Chains A and B, each alone.
Chain A
Amino acid sequence: MTNAHLPKGWEMVIGLEVHAQLQTQSKLFGRASTAFGAPANSQVDPVSLGLPGALPVLNREALRLAAIAGFATNCQVHSQSVFERKNYFYADLPKGYQISQFHRPICTDGLLKVRVDGHDIEVGIHQIHMEEDAGKSTHTNQGSLVDLNRAGIALIEIVSEPDLRTPEQAVAYLKELRAILLYTKVSNGSLEQGSFRCDANVSVRKVGVTELGTRCEIKNLNSFRAIRDAIVAEANRQIRRLKQQEPITQQTRLWNADKGRTEAMRGKEQAHDYRYVPDPDLPVVVIDSQRLEQWKADLPELPAQRRARYMEQLSLDEHTAWFLCEEPDRARRFETMLGSEQSARRAKSIGSFLSVRLAGAINRAARQWHQIDLVLVELAEVHDQWRDGLLSNKMLTDLLHDALSVEDDIESALANARAKVGLIEQDLDALRDVIDQLIEANPKQASAYRAGKEQLFGFFMGQVMKALKGKANAKDASAALRQALQSSD
């Protein structure tokens, strides 16, 4: 496979480890809340503080979510799995060990189909295991601060096989995985809140070689862009070394986005012997097969299935289907607006209304998507009016701007905006008067048009819209203008 990011004749091999925070009310083994953004160290309990005598008790909801993640990625979900202790000392690790799964994780041997550049690739899922998060350290000149709100929060780590060959594939895989976690409500998938984090294992080799090269693990990747850039930078670093006959050392490296390069962590941080040992406080996790079957049967429609449905039943093009299905909320809004009038033509139009018109308006007004959830049906009406020419593009832009920029509740804000902008009056006589006046005022252009310079039609159309302050039904205006130009002599 050719790779635009690398010198000719080289390829990269990428495996990804994703940490996704499970959407549970309380922590994996303790009763403290998991809500994001609380004051430091306010969401702790004896277990997450590592107090003497505090014992972990497994959150059953976390177990269910981990199993669902496994089913959604075609894994084998095991009825028995084992929690182990991963031992190391750090100030934000209260017990001196992290409870994780190692030898017997809950899910193994999965497969994810990912679409990249019009092709499907298959990415193996090596395993999904459950573990608790560590706390958060902040280092200052005065010393280090530790916040244990995050300590003990339930995570799954999804480990891919080294099946990815380009950064584009890596990002596509991550987006697909994130969409799956959102659809199944396993995780909120927020990169900003750190509830979807990725480490990348990268190695390089000459095209045609089948053995894997020595890999480096890259950490500190907090956006899709960082993932893409870091993978490219690391692969090129390795190739430079190999070309100079220097060996690659297996190590953990950090992405430095400012300098655009990966940097080795200090040697000491590399040298961990985690002394994994089954956690004697937690019995083997057993899920009865009936419950597993039930969870599997309860899987919701997954993004790939929904995309296929949109493309088959609604004849949406692949790009629009992808956009709408990337987040379940987006697809839900689309379906609500679509309502029962599900022609392919309307579906496509609503798709673009959402992805272009609404997305732009929401961005400009710095609002959140969920704020329009109360008026989706009304917005579908607005769409239909726009489609039917009762609203011009400009009127639509003004309407959405007005509706979103006032602090009122969105229902009355939208109603007011619609009343203020109004609809294009279908007064054809008035329209013809305006057109006639314009032709009279621009005789040179009119005769040039008639002489065959058809691009001048756009000039007249612009003048018409300007004269009507944008409140023209473009379809009618265009028809009337064409007629008037041809007949005026």
Chain B
Amino acid sequence: MSTIEHQTLIAVAEDVNQGRSSALEIAEQHLERIERIDSKINAFVDVDRDQTLHSARAVDNAIAKGQRNLPLAGVPISIKDLIAVQNRPLRAGSKILGDYRPAHDATVVSKLKAAGAVIIGKVSLDEFAMGSTNESASSGPVRNPWSLDSVPGGSSGGSAAAVSAKMGLASLGTDTGGSVRLPAAFCGAVGVKPTYGRVSRSGVVAYASSLDQVGPITLNVRDAARLLSAIAGPCDHDSTSVDQPIDDWALACEQRIESMRFGVVVDWLERLQPSVADAVNQAAQALCDAGAQRVDITLEHDHLAVPAYYVIAMSEASTNLARYDGVRYGRRAQLEAGASLDQLYARSRAEGFGPEVRRRIILGTWALSSGYYDAYYDRACRVRRLVRDELTAALSHVDVLLGPTAPRTAWKIGDTQMDPLTTYQMDIFTTAANLAGLPAMSLPWGRDDQGLPIGVQLHAGPWREANLFQWGTALEAAAPSLEALPKSARDLREINCD
């Protein structure tokens, strides 16, 4: 068995399938690491050692009985706590769900289990996936493994931090406006937002149903391709999932990009932190060096994506979160005798939801209200179509678009400069893919002078995740190694994590 430092998802799965490693040993190794270092990072909200070891033994038994083709055999994977795992607490980073435990696995979790993965725990997130910093979790902020006083990004901050600190080899996050890609970028991981409808949302707590997708966070592109293959596909329990052919994404990772075309949205290179701009330019140059052809593109409507995104996401959230009312499950406010039903709702929801969730529910309710619907929600939907049509059209001329994932690298936990509106602007490069339903990927491209990872982003046309994996591996091959960066940064990580 290899040391954690050198494990990849694919290699571990091969080792376990071949009997060279046991799922049990791998699980123990990762559980031990969580116990040792997660007190510093705070990524995990639920670890059940016995259940994890039990699952690992079951994988070993299946392999002992001749099972050889489990694509995720013995791979320890953490799950964002927005996704249901049978009989484990599901809190969505909130107090309002109380001690709710779902009776069924989300479809993606049952697919992982069927593929031989071992669920190693549930990881933290911004409350109800609303945030970019993972500071709004009811379990407290998650710390960026590269710099413990920095945010890991959000909302899948626990997922990215866990993967980056090698507590588990992969994680499932969810991406509504960048919630997989942004934390992947901030933590030096690979994060993929699939085409809308590619992955089932059944058993995933809804934030904004028309935008939400589950996506993998891993340490490299090939691992992401393997993991996405395992969770993709139509689902009887999700009417928005789509039966589209799933290409051989492992094969796509090995295909060359020579003489193929990629686009660079020139507007996306403005107002970036200089090191982020440098990273995107270097990445573009690397693709050209590999024989690809660069096409510069301008987008007319792209600047409208963030406002349209927030109106739509908040509107949908206001109705999706109406079910958390303290009546049937979750946390109910203690009320004096004779209190009305309305008081029960008001108190349970005021006590159960944090400020950012309350803000979005209130704004979304307002945007859908009589007299405002046309000016806000309906207009946002029209803008959404413009953004989608424009982006899809751009992607019919090139294989992928290359750009930054975020305008900057991670900021400090508690940074008062980062008020809600400023934070919302951090989604400037990520929301368009959700509005358009397109697949996108963030992958690391070195670190800035503070030692914080930088993410670059690829967009592809609908159902063309294969393009992301093909171009992603090309970029990955050319990217500066995170480990090879200045010693100070490496020391920081080693001190903090080991």
Query: What residues of chain A have their CB less than 8 Å away from a CB belonging to chain B?
Result: 46, 49-58, 85, 87, 89-91, 94-97, 144, 146, 273, 275, 277, 280-283
Residues in A with CB closer than 8 Å to B463 are none
Q: A282 is contacted by which of B104, B237, B239, B319 (Cβ under 8 Å)?
A: B239
Q: Which residue of B lies closest to A83 (CB)?
A: B239
Q: Does B183 contact A (CB under 8 A)?
A: no
* Residues on A with beta carbons closer than 8 Å to the beta carbon of B329: 51
Q: In the bound complex, do residue A89 and residue B239 qualify as a contact, i.e. CB atoms below 8 Å apart?
A: no
- Bound Cα distance from A146 to B345, whole angstroms: 16
**Cβ-closest 4 pairs across A and B:** A96-B322, A280-B210, A280-B209, A275-B368
Q: Given that A52-B92, A52-B100, A52-B323 are known contacts, is A281 also in contact with B209, CB under 8 Å in the complex? A: yes
Determine if B328 and A55 form an interchain contact, defined as CB atoms under 8 angstroms apart.
no
> What is the bound-complex CA distance between A51 and B324, given in angstroms?
9
Question: If A87-B368, A89-B322, A275-B319 touch, does A52 touch B205 (CB 8 Å cutoff)?
Answer: yes
Q: Judge whether B79 is part of the interface by a CB distance below 8 angstroms.
A: no
Decide if B26 is an interface residue (CB 8 Å cutoff): no
When A57-B236, A281-B240 are in contact, do A273 and B84 touch as well, CB less than 8 Å?
Answer: no
Tell me, in angstroms, the Cα distance from A146 to B328 when the chains sit together.
10
In whole angstroms, how far apart are the Cα atoms of A258 and B465 in the complex?
67
A and B contact pairs by CB, cutoff 8 A, 9 listed:
A46-B103, A53-B102, A54-B202, A57-B239, A85-B319, A87-B322, A275-B319, A275-B370, A277-B319
Complex contacts, A49 vs chain B, CB 8 Å: 328
Complex CA distance for A49 and B104, rounded to whole angstroms:
14
Q: State A146–B373 Cα separation when bound (angstroms).
A: 32
CB contacts under 8 Å to A, within B81-137, are: 83-84, 90, 92, 97, 100, 102-104, 106
CB distance from B45 to the nearest CB of A (A): 15
- Asked if B70 is an interface residue, CB under 8 A from chain A, the answer is no
Q: How close is B174's CB to chain A, nearest CB, in angstroms? A: 11
If A51-B102, A275-B365 touch, does A96 touch B323 (CB 8 Å cutoff)? yes
Whether A97 touches B97, Cβ cut-off 8 Å, given contacts A52-B102, A52-B205, A53-B202, is no
Q: How far is the CA of A442 from the CA of B403 in the complex (A)?
A: 119
Q: Count of B residues near A, CB < 8 Å?
A: 45
For the A-B complex, the count of residue pairs with Cβ-Cβ distances under 8 Å equals 97
Q: Decide yes or no whether B206 CB sits under 8 A from chain A.
A: yes
Smallest distance from the beta carbon of A26 to chain B beta carbons, Å? 13
Q: Contacts A87-B319, A146-B327, A281-B209 known; A55 to B238 CB distance under 8 Å?
A: yes
Q: Which residue of A lies closest to B370 (CB)?
A: A273
Inter-subunit contact B202/A275 (CB<8 Å): no
Q: Is the Cβ of A283 less than 8 Å from the Cβ of B323?
A: no
Q: Which residues of A contact B315 (CB under 8 A)?
A: 277
Chain B's nearest CB lies how many Å from the CB of A42? 15
A58 CA to B239 CA, complexed, in Å: 8
B residues with CB within 8 A of A: 83-84, 90, 92, 97, 100, 102-104, 106, 201-206, 208-210, 236-240, 315-316, 318-319, 321-325, 327-329, 341-342, 345, 365, 368-370, 373, 377
Known: A53-B202, A96-B319, A281-B239. A275 touches B369 (CB 8 A): yes
Other contacts beyond A54-B203, A57-B236, A280-B208: 20, CB < 8 A: A52-B90, A52-B205, A53-B84, A53-B90, A53-B203, A55-B202, A57-B239, A85-B319, A89-B325, A89-B341, A96-B322, A97-B319, A146-B327, A273-B369, A273-B370, A275-B370, A275-B373, A277-B316, A281-B206, A281-B240
Q: Which residues of B contact A54 (CB under 8 A)?
A: 202-203
On chain A, the residues within 8 Å of B325 by CB distance are 89, 96
Interface pair B319/A46, CB less than 8 Å apart: no
Chain A positions within 8 Å of B204 at CB level: 53
Query: Given the complex of chains A and B, what is the CA–CA distance between A95 and B209 in angstroms?
Result: 14
Q: How far is the CA of A52 from the CA of B206 in the complex (A)?
A: 7
Q: Residue on B with the closest CB to A44?
A: B328
Q: A58–B84 Cα gap in the complex (Å)? A: 22
Q: Is the CB of B345 within 8 A of A89?
A: yes
Bound Cα distance from A96 to B361, whole angstroms: 13
Known contacts A55-B202, A277-B368, A283-B240; is-contact A50 B328 (Cβ 8 Å): yes
Cβ contacts under 8 Å, B97 to chain A: 52
Q: How far is the CA of A55 from the CA of B200 in the complex (A)?
A: 10
Q: State the Cβ distance, A99 to closest chain B Cβ, in Å.
A: 11
B81 → A minimal CB distance (Å): 11
- Whether the Cβ atoms of A94 and B106 lie closer than 8 Å is no
Distance in angstroms between the alpha carbons of A50 and B92 in the assembled complex? 16
A310 CB, nearest partner CB in chain B, Å: 45
Q: Which residues of B contact A89 (CB under 8 A)?
A: 322, 325, 341-342, 345
| A486 → B minimal CB distance (Å) | 84
Which residues of chain B come closer than 8 Å to A55, judged between CB atoms?
Answer: 201-202, 237-240
Contacts of B324 in A (CB 8 A): 52
A96 — nearest CB in chain B belongs to which residue?
Answer: B322
| B residues near A51, Cβ cutoff 8 Å | 102, 329
Residue of A nearest to B208 (CB): A280
Nearest opposing residue in chain B for A86, CB measure:
B319
Q: A277 CA to B341 CA in the complex, in Å?
A: 25
Bound-state Cα–Cα, A166 to B491, Å: 88
State how many angstroms separate the Cβ of B116 from the closest Cβ of chain A: 24
Cβ of B323 and Cβ of A95 under 8 Å apart? Answer: yes
CB distance from A143 to the nearest CB of B (A): 10
A227-B90 Cα distance, complex, nearest whole Å: 48
Residues of B within 8 A of A144 (CB): 341
A273 to B372, CA, bound (A): 12
CA distance A452 to B478 in the complex (A): 127
Residue in B closest to A277 when the chains form the complex, CB atoms? B368
Q: In the complex, what's the smallest C-beta–C-beta distance from A156 to chain B, in angstroms?
A: 20
* Closest residue of B by beta carbon distance from A146: B327
Closest A residue to B346 by beta carbon equals A89
Contacts of B237 in A (CB 8 A): 55, 57
- Which of A85, A146, A275 has the most chain B CB within a 10 Å cutoff? A275
- Which of A46, A53, A56 lies at the interface centre, i.e. has the most chain B CB atoms within 10 A of its CB? A53
Q: Measured between alpha carbons, how far is A329 from B451 in the docked complex, in Å?
A: 81
**In the docked arrangement, what's the CA distance between A17 and B324, Å?**
31
A62 to B365 Cα, complex, angstroms: 31
> Complex: how many Å from CA A207 to CA B323?
49
- Which chain A positions have C-beta within 8 A of B102? 51-53
Residues of A within 8 A of B100 (CB): 52
Q: Cβ of B370: which chain A residues have Cβ within 8 Å of it?
A: 273, 275
B205 partner residues in chain A, CB cutoff 8 A? 52-53
Most-contacted residue by chain A among B84, B106, B325, B370 (CB, 10 A): B325
A277 near B377 with CB under 8 A, answer: yes
A54 to chain B minimum Cβ distance, whole angstroms, is 8
Point out the residues of chain A lying under 8 angstroms from B208, CB to CB.
280
Please measure, in the bound complex, the distance between the C-alpha atom of A90 and the C-alpha atom of B449, giving whole angstroms. 55
Shortest CB distance B37–A (Å): 30
Query: Closest chain A residue to B211 by CB distance?
Result: A280
Residues A52 and B84 in contact in the complex (CB < 8 Å), given A277-B315, A277-B368: yes
Closest to A268 in B: B342
Residue of A nearest to B345 (CB): A89
User: Inside 8 A of A277's CB, which chain B residues have their CB?
Assistant: 315-316, 319, 368, 373, 377
In the complex, how many angstroms separate the beta carbon of B369 from the nearest chain A beta carbon? 6
Given A46-B104, A275-B370: A56 and B239 interface contact (C-beta under 8 Å): yes
Using Cβ atoms and an 8 Å threshold, which residues of chain B touch A52? Answer: 84, 90, 92, 97, 100, 102, 205-206, 323-324
Q: How far is the CB of B342 from chain A (nearest CB, A)?
A: 8
What is the chain A residue whose CB lies nearest that of B210?
Answer: A280
Residues of B within 8 A of A97 (CB): 319, 322
Complex: A129 Cα to B319 Cα, angstroms: 21
Return the chain A residue nearest B322 by Cβ.
A96
Within the complex, the shortest CB–CB distance from B349 to chain A, in Å, comes to 10
Q: Which residues of B contact A56 (CB under 8 A)?
A: 239
Kindly report which residue of chain A lies nearest to residue B241, judged by CB atoms: A55
Residues of chain A lying within 8 A (CB to CB) of residue B209: 280-281
What distance in Å separates the Cβ of B465 from its nearest Cβ neighbour in chain A? 21
